């Protein structure tokens, strides 16, 4: 194997890496912004109201991201009305289509995580909030949502990793993300092992980075859930009472 | 609005191929998952190291990257090996590459699922098996495996649903599954949205039906378990 080709093409990989980071971060932000209202409506007591976000969640979780992306990128051209409108500026660009598909997809998964976390809110917390005379909106803002976010943290970490891996699909529709860069290097120099292993290595590093970030976030936000570690430097050693 | 122009039989044929890929790769994944789980729980540090790096690397890299690596890279590998052995040119089929990659990827996920399932089997059952004079293999086949199923089923169901959706990726390496055919049919009739939507619905049917089946299985394997 000859990794000199990879070093020569490093600028391309870095460019692709940057596009991947952009796509992932932006779709996570849009996805989360969409997921909160979706989860709130999906937990509504009215069956009719809760049906719509649940149908949305069901559709996006039950179908492959690739098909969703194709529906938006390739499928948009089917609608003449859309083609003639101002929106076409967005839908003709592969980048925006990928971003829309990723955001809608992660919104569905995230809202399902949030919905689960919200339904697990201990009854006592809500009861206490009510006893304090909080309005429903205040209850959500101060008690239910913060506590749900905290409980959702580990599952959300997984979702972020899935989004990172899913973002490789952008390379399929001509976007030069990390996978797209590997594809270009492979087709120029015909080095499938080196080109894709290099991309895989970058993805692996980013995965580790995400895992590490969420570990730190969990020790911070879950401080109230995990029992405090006993003092003393020795791990597992019995603390000697003074 | 959505006229399929007689492409429905072709799409359904593609759906059948999607199912074939999914089921075959699931079989590979189950075998790899069982081997991985046993390796992770074994006393040998070499087995643990190999299984550990397998699950870490595979779960850290996108499936698409692995698939293209195995498809394009595998071709070179087969050529090189073939050259040195004096074989004729062998074409790596996208079907084999797809099935092997997906099986290989989900083997890593199932390793974790099965490991959790095995750990959840109560110690006493396994000890009782040994006390009856069974060999380790007998204990594993007669006691650990059947008892593990109940604990592993929820994770297994989840993995199967994700696996079924992952099969869509084989269209990227040129296998004519339903996503690929939808692209062709949609391109010819200028109705890409309609055809991709149809494929999405077919995926929903696959996941929906398997969901019902897996829930039934979960109920069956939980017979005799008291619910809190």
Domain holding B143: CATH number?
Answer: 1.10.3720.10
The average pLDDT across A182-190 equals: 90
Are residues B210 and B164 in contact, defined by beta-carbon separation less than 8 angstroms?
yes
Whether B161 is covered by a domain: the verdict is yes
* Band of pLDDT at residue A226, cut at 50, 70 and 90: low
Which one is predicted more confidently, B8 or A28?
A28
For residue A41 the two structure tokens come to 């409506």
Whether B102 is covered by a domain: the verdict is yes
Give SS3 for A174: coil
Average pLDDT, chain B: 89
Whether B90 is covered by a domain: the verdict is yes
C-alpha dihedral (B113, B116, B121, B124), degrees to nearest 10: 150
* Band of pLDDT at residue A185, cut at 50, 70 and 90: very high
Whether B97 is covered by a domain: the verdict is yes
Checking if the pLDDT of A28 tops 90, the result is yes
Count: domains in chain B: 1
Own/partner long-range contacts of A233-239 (Cβ < 8 Å, ≥24 apart) = none
* Band of pLDDT at residue A234, cut at 50, 70 and 90: very low
Checking if the pLDDT of B170 tops 80, the result is yes
Least confident piece of the model among A203-207, B76-80, B185-189: B76-80
Checking if the pLDDT of A242 tops 80, the result is no
B72: containing domain: 23-174
The average pLDDT across B99-118 equals: 92
Give me the pLDDT at residue A236, please.
46
The average pLDDT across B201-224 equals: 89
Give me the pLDDT at residue B134, please.
92
Which residues of chain B does A207 touch, with a Cβ-Cβ cutoff of 8 Å? 59-61
pLDDT digits (tens, 9 = 90+) for B54-75: 999 998 999 999 999 988 888 8
Nearest to A69 by CA among B66, B65, B190, B199: B199
CB within 8 Å: B61 and A203: yes
How far apart are alpha carbons B80 and B142 in whole angstroms? 44
CB within 8 Å: B192 and A200: no
Whether B106 is covered by a domain: the verdict is yes
Whether B199 is covered by a domain: the verdict is no
Checking if the pLDDT of B46 tops 50, the result is yes
pLDDT digits (tens, 9 = 90+) for B10-40: 889 999 999 999 999 999 999 999 999 999 9
How far apart are alpha carbons B179 and B184 in whole angstroms? 9
How far apart are alpha carbons B105 and B36 in whole angstroms? 12
Which one is predicted more confidently, A227 or A24?
A24
% of chain B exceeding 90 in pLDDT: 52
A 163-192 near B (Cβ less than 8 A): 164-169, 171-172, 179, 182-183, 186, 192
How far apart are alpha carbons A224 and A98 in whole angstroms? 39
Q: Got the DSSP string for A54-120?
A: HHHHHHHHHS-HHHHHHHHHTGGGG-HHHHHSTTHHHHT-HHHHHHHHHHHHHHHHHHHHHHHHHHT
Tell me what ipTM this predicted complex has: 0.88
pLDDT digits (tens, 9 = 90+) for A108-135: 999 999 998 998 888 898 899 999 999 9
Say which of B60, B194, B199 has its CB closest to residue A207.
B60
Own/partner long-range contacts of B34-41 (Cβ < 8 Å, ≥24 apart) = B34/B110, B34/B114, B36/B107, B36/B108, B36/B110, B36/B111, B36/B114, B36/B115, B37/B110, B37/B111, B37/B112, B37/B114, B37/B115, B37/B117, B37/B118, B38/B118, B38/B140, B40/B111, B40/B115, B41/B115, B41/B118, B41/B119
pLDDT digits (tens, 9 = 90+) for A128-177: 999 999 998 899 999 999 989 988 998 999 999 999 999 999 999 989 99
Give SS3 for A222: coil
How far apart are alpha carbons A175 and A35 in whole angstroms? 26
For residue A185 the two structure tokens come to 């290097």
Give me the pLDDT at residue A235, please.
47
The average pLDDT across B111-136 equals: 90
Checking if the pLDDT of A237 tops 50, the result is no
Average pLDDT, chain A: 88
How far apart are alpha carbons A13 and A9 in whole angstroms? 7
How far apart are alpha carbons A233 and B165 in whole angstroms? 48
A–B interface: beta-carbon pairs under 8 A:
118
The average pLDDT across A47-66 equals: 93
What CATH number should be reported for the domain whose range is A4-221? 1.10.3720.10
CB within 8 Å: B200 and A207: no
Give me the pLDDT at residue A225, please.
66
Nearest to B94 by CA among B167, B144, B42, B192: B167
Checking if the pLDDT of A25 tops 70, the result is yes
Give me the pLDDT at residue A122, please.
87
Give me the pLDDT at residue A106, please.
96
């Amino acid at each position: 194997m000859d990794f000199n080709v990879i070093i020569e093409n490093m600028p391309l990989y870095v460019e692709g890496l940057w596009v991947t980071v952009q796509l992932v971060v932006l779709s996570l932000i849009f996805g989360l912004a969409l997921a909160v209202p979706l989860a709130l409506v999906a937990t509504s007591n009215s069956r009719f109201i809760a049906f719509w976000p649940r149908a949305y969640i069901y559709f996006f979780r039950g179908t492959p991201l690739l098909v969703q992306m194709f529906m938006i990128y390739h499928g948009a051209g089917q609608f003449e009305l859309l083609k003639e409108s101002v929106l076409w500026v967005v839908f003709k660009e592969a980048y925006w289509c990928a971003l829309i598909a990723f955001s809608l997809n992660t919104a569905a998964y995230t809202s399902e995580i949030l919905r689960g976390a919200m339904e697990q809110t201990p009854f006592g917390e809500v009861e206490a909030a009510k006893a304090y005379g909080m309005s429903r909106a205040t209850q959500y803002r101060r008690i239910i949502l913060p506590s749900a976010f905290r409980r959702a943290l580990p599952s959300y970490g997984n979702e972020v990793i899935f989004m990172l891996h899913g973002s490789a699909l952008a390379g399929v529709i001509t976007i030069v993300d990390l996978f797209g860069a590997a594809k270009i290097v492979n087709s120029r120099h015909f080095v499938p092992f080196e080109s894709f292993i290099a991309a895989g290595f970058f993805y692996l590093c980013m995965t580790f980075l995400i895992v590490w970030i969420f570990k730190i976030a969990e020790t911070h936000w879950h401080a109230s859930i995990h029992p405090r570690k006993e003092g003393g430097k020795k791990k597992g050693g019995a603390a000697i009472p003074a | 609005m959505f006229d399929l122009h007689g492409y429905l039989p072709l799409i359904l044929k593609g759906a059948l191929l999607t199912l074939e890929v999914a089921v075959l790769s699931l079989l590979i994944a189950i075998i790899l998952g069982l081997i991985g789980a046993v390796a992770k729980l074994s006393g040998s540090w070499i087995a643990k190291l190999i299984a550990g790096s397998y699950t870490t690397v595979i779960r850290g890299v996108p499936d698409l990257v692995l698939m293209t690596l195995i498809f394009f890279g595998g071709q070179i590998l087969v050529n090189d090996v073939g050259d040195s052995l004096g074989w004729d040119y062998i074409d790596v089929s996208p079907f084999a590459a797809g099935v092997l990659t997906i099986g290989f990827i989900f083997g890593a996920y199932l390793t974790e699922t099965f490991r959790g399932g095995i750990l959840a089997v109560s110690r006493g059952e396994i000890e009782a098996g040994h006390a009856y004079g069974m060999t380790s293999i007998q204990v594993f086949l007669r006691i650990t495996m059947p008892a593990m199923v109940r604990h592993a089923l929820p994770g297994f169901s989840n993995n199967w649903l994700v696996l079924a959706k992952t099969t869509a990726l084989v269209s990227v390496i040129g296998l004519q599954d339903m996503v690929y055919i939808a692209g062709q049919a949609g391109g010819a009739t200028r109705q890409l949205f309609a055809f991709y939507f149809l494929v999405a619905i077919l995926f929903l049917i696959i996941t929906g039906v398997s969901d019902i089946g897996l829930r039934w299985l979960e109920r069956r394997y939980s017979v005799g378990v008291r619910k809190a």
